[in-house]
Structure 1
Amino acid sequence: MPRPIARVLTLLELLQSGGIRTVSELADRLSVDERTVRRYAQQLVDLDVPVESVRGRYGGYRLAPGYRMPPLMLSDDEALAVLLGLVAGRRSGVTATTDTATTDTASETAAAKIRRVLPERLRHRLDAVLGSLAFTDPPGKAAAPEPAVLLPMADAVHHHRPISIRYTAGDGRRSERTLHPYGVVAHSGRWYVTAADLSAGEDRTFRLDRITGVRILPGSFEPPVGIDPAKRVLTGLATAPYRHEVTLRIQGTAEQIHTRLPAGVAIVTELPSPGGADPAAEGWCRVELRVDRLDWLPAVLSSLDRPFAIERPDELRGLVEAFAERLANFARRSPPHPWEIGEPAPG
């Protein structure tokens, strides 16, 4: 497709996204000067596309209300991005539908609709890409939220509206709660909403797949300044009640520690350096975890390869010592003879 024609179509796509687009903004997005933008806009008018010019300080161009182009027009990059997004969404479990079967069906039918309107040349190339893909992780198994939950929840977050939900906790207890929702977060194949729980008088995090109904209530609320829903979800997961509370001191940066103990598992706090400490020496961090089992921690601490000290629990010290002794015993062993591992004996 000739580049000027492609830019005219891109201009049309930008205008179809809604609102008034200034000439300077359009020039920047199209990588042309403002005079060229005006010429492209006139070409759309000549094609009977109702492009309106809006004068004033915040003026620019917009499409007449209610106008939509009927055919689906995608560039090679756009088509590939949409189809790969459908595949990745289905694999990661983030495609939101009422059940797994419906999720697969919706993704497949959406991809089929896109493929039907693509030129044959592009369709074959995209099929080749999709047919050559391989994933190292299994498909996501977590339950995606129902649209009847996700859509009103997102609307309430966007417009700062209070909601009433019916919630089933992990132990099976059911309750009805009134929330001020701050944000919806997808993490490790699950969807969460972080909110002020007016029923409990505190901020809480709820899994969307455990919500069976959402009702938007009258009024509005003002969310806290600087709220970070993703950080709140990760902190909530890291501080959830578990069998063991673990506190460590590890020498290194928070970034280094999070390579093995992610934010959803551990809270890492950098500690101030003591007076007189070598400025070139690496600092220490306090690491706090809540876990149901301790047996996996020795291997993780070993893989960090950083100096550490265990503050609690004492049970973890014994596990680390036993793990270190096993590694030392393995290192002292001689390699087995070939016939001891199933290989033929020499001669």
Structure 2
Amino acid sequence: MADVTRPTARVLTLLELLQSGGVRTLADLAERLGVDARTVRRYVQHLVDLDIPVESVRGRYGGYRLARGHRLPPLMFGDDEAVAVLLGLTGRSGTAAQTAAAKLRRVLPARLDALHDTLESTSPSTEAPDGAILLPLAAAVRDHQPVRLDERTFFPYGVVVHRGRWYVTGFDPAAGERRSFRLDRITGVRALPGSFDPPPAGYDAAESLLIGFATAGYRHEVRLRVRATPAQLRTRLPASLAVIRSTDGPWLHIDMRVESLDWVPAVLASLDRPFVIEHPPELRTLVAGLATRLAGYAAGDDSAAG
């Protein structure tokens, strides 16, 4: 039965009682809902306003019932269908989307509440992963319960959608470090007994995932200082690419790990902000070469065009 401490929950509970069939007396409904008769009448009117045909039955054994032959159709979803429906409404604005999501959460499997409460996203996702993988992970995030990911014990801290892919972030006790795994590469999830300490206060699963991308072990480590604000830098250097460290002055320290340096000079030029290359030296050569070519283009030098 719903939590009847809230008016909206009481109205929904009233509907559930009426759907059970027969005539419900005013006194019975008032006792079940924990309110007075006048409030029951008001809740009945709420249902009528929603086009639910509640009939008033007069007489000694009178009360309220749903119109004969009327019953709200049940919604029967498998896990994957339920996830798809819930995600389709997640993040949508507007009253209709909000009320639809509220109604669906009452009829969808209760285990989907964990997904609704724990999911983080850096960008929309149009396709959900296997519910048999996603739902146990979401529940484990909420309950701080260890899981077995294939052959690995893992403490899941969060489920994140990034650029259409799904990830779980958390702590790998065997490796002694935080890690992230793509859900489409996980073949099985099994809850383990016990619990783990929740992540530190202020932990952000999406931010942790993006920092992991930005500091991955690529071929080149790039260190810069840029005279700009974080907002100006993020237009060209997203969190998945660069880690920004503030200083006391107007300059920001930038750390990146990239497989190729060839594209970095053009990105730095597009910032249109003063910068200093601290490492690697070959990046300075590439930037100087780009500057020479651009100067030649601006001067109409055909040789600069190769």
TM beyond 0.5 = yes
Matched, 1:236 2:212: yes
CA–CA distance in 2 between the matches of 1:252 and 1:191? Answer: 32
Matched, 1:309 2:276: yes
- Matched residue SS, 1:219: coil
CA–CA distance in 2 between the matches of 1:284 and 1:302? Answer: 17
Cα 1:140–1:202 shift into 2, 3 Å = closer
Matched, 1:146 2:130: yes
Query: Which residue of 2 is the match for residue 272 of structure 1?
Result: 248
Matched, 1:250 2:234: no
Instruction: Report % sequence identity.
Output: 52
Q: How does 1:80-159 map to 2 (within 5 A)?
A: 85=88, 145-159=129-143
Give me the CA root mean square deviation.
3.6
Cα 1:289–1:37 shift into 2, 3 Å = farther
Query: Which residue of 1 is the match for residue 167 of structure 2?
Result: 192
Deviation at 1:25, TM superposition (A): 9.7
Query: Which residue of 1 is the match for residue 295 of structure 2?
Result: 328
Equivalenced residue count is 215
Runs of 4+ in structure 1 over 3 Å off: 18-21, 23-26, 36-40, 44-49, 82-86
Query: Which residue of 2 is the match for residue 70 of structure 1?
Result: 73
Q: How does 1:335-346 map to 2 (within 5 A)?
A: none
Cα 1:83–1:163 shift into 2, 3 Å = closer
Query: Which residue of 2 is the match for residue 217 of structure 1?
Result: 192
Deviation at 1:255, TM superposition (A): 1.4
TM-score using structure 2 length:
0.62
- Matched residue SS, 2:198: coil
The answer to whether the 8 A contact 1:253-1:270 is kept is no
Deviation at 1:70, TM superposition (A): 1.7
The answer to whether the 8 A contact 2:3-2:9 is kept is no
Deviation at 1:140, TM superposition (A): 8.2
Query: Which residue of 2 is the match for residue 41 of structure 1?
Result: 43
Cα 1:316–1:334 shift into 2, 3 Å = closer
Cα 1:38–1:331 shift into 2, 3 Å = farther
CA–CA distance in 2 between the matches of 1:37 and 1:186? Answer: 44
Query: Which residue of 2 is the match for residue 77 of structure 1?
Result: none
CA–CA distance in 2 between the matches of 1:316 and 1:209? Answer: 36
Instruction: In structure 1, list runs of 5 or more residues that go unmatched.
Output: 1-15, 27-35, 50-67, 73-81, 90-138, 167-175, 274-282, 336-347
Instruction: In structure 2, list runs of 5 or more residues that go unmatched.
Output: 11-37, 56-70, 76-84, 93-123
- Matched residue SS, 2:167: strand
Amino acid corresponding to residue 296 of structure 2 in structure 1 = N
- Matched residue SS, 2:135: helix
Q: Residue by residue, what CA displacement relative to the aligned partner does 1:92-112 show, whole Å, maximum 9, x if unpaired? A: xxxxxxxxxxxxxxxxxxxxx
Amino acid corresponding to residue 254 of structure 2 in structure 1 = V
CA–CA distance in 2 between the matches of 1:297 and 1:40? Answer: 66
TM-score using structure 1 length:
0.55
Deviation at 1:251, TM superposition (A): 0.3
CA–CA distance in 1 between the matches of 2:172 and 2:269? Answer: 40
